[in-house]
Amino acid sequence: MPAACRKVEARAMLPQEIIRSKRDGGVLSKADIADFAAGLTHGTWSEGQVAALAMAIFLNGMNAEEGAALTLAMRDSGKVLDWSGLPGPVTDKHSTGGVGDNVSLMLAPIVAACGAFVPMISGRGLGHTGGTLDKMDSIPGYTSQPDDRLFARTVRDVGCAIIGQTADLAPADKRFYAVRDVTGTVESIPLITASILSKKLAAGLSSLVLDVKSGNGSFMAEARDARRLAENLVTVAGAASLPATALLTGMNEPLASAAGNAVEVRNAVDFLTGAGRDRRLEDVTLALAAEMLVAARIAATAKEGLARAREALSGGAAAERFGKMVRALGGPADFVENPERYLPAAAIVVPATAGRDGFVGRIETRALGVGVIELGGGRSKPEDAIDHSVGLTGCLPVGAEVRRGEPLAMVHARTTDDAERAVAAVRAAYRMTDEKPRAGKAILRRIAGAA
């Protein structure tokens, strides 16, 4: 065994001592954090110990040095990809998560159609939010975790690939992510930052755009917390030599009119083909596309980037790229043309109706996300299987006028009992008013790194 390895093992602190230190408000050393990342990767830390340290960090926080050390340690727990052979810029986007947030499915092919390469490594559902990878798994045959060769070939030939973490890409984060999901430790700025950036740094990007959600359907309900997270993400990314910017976007209502897995994929296909586009979803998707094109130096300004993204969308190039990506990764060749032939459908579809006339004044968006999980569209434990067919469609936005007995949303469920519970949850989540409320902004703020 090399001497360097013997030295690390000789000074490794017991997991319980690292937990105790952070529990009591201490600052963890780089060596402590490296030990933790190694314990995550190699299984020498138990699930209980990982959960305990996650809670200690959640309660006591991490300073900038600790956060950066955790990010880099998780990045270095596996391989780092190299895209230097591609004939163009490599860029990506990450969302902190929300309800009805299927932006990635449209964004990757839009940006690829404009000339960038987008190796989008996505996650599964976290807490009450849906996961991009779970959505893609709704497509029969789609290989969401391909080997390195297939991943590289798809990015090179198509321009984009939406996949999950492979076993050797930030493996420490992969395990930590699953534990945080089920232990109430998601909403921590240093943990969110380390999780996001360890994967993106391992992906070998040349630029990154972050979509940081704020509102009652996000992990950062308060605007000030979302801004702190965005600033932390941009700062830590810059310190790791990854140019990054962030958009703060609103999540006080579902972004798409669908929430679930297969239903959000269908919504995305409709968006790409022009069969139907939710307005807020379009605003956010195109704003992020413009930001990515500027970051990749394909567009000189956001205005130019927006024009190029619109052209790729309206001209059909983005839909074509999505179809090619699905086919390249094992999905049906005619998926974009015939999504209903392939996507799983729920056995029961029933309306959740309004109890009175009026306007949608407020939506408890997190409750809708929890409702989808309770239908079977998410996980309560890391090992839980997902029913990709269940969810909500036709979710009315804030400001919509509705009559008593008209649908607020359609519930897609496995059983009658599930459907009844979900209908009650939707009705409780929608708050009606007599007067039409002012529409909230979709794009709240842009945050850039230091020049």
Distance CA 265, CA 251 (A): 19
Element (DSSP H or E) covering residue 367: helix 365-372
Dist CA 217 CA 149 (whole Å): 37
Distance separating alpha carbons of residues 65 and 76, to the nearest angstrom: 16
CA–CA dist 17, 9 (Å, integer) = 15
List of residues 6+ apart from 73 with CB closer than 8 A = 30, 33, 34, 36, 37, 172
Alpha carbon of 187 to those of 28, 374, 416: distances in Å?
20, 21, 34
Q: How far is CA 355 from the centre of its chain?
A: 33
Rounded Cα distance between 340 and 387, Å, is: 17
Any bridge partners for residue 443, and if so which? 249
Residues 6+ apart with CB under 8 A from 5: none
Q: How far apart are CA 358 and CA 352, in angstroms?
A: 15
Contact of 391 with 377, CB cutoff 8 Å: yes
- Residues forming the active site: 92-95, 132, 180, 195, 199-200
DSSP string, 118-133: EEEEE---BTTB--HH
Residue in the structure block whose two tokens are 């989808």: 372
Structure tokens at 3: 């001497």
DSSP letter at 254?
-
CA angle 116, 119, 125 (to 5 degrees): 130
Tell me the residue length of the chain.
451
Look up residue 427 and give its amino acid.
Answer: R
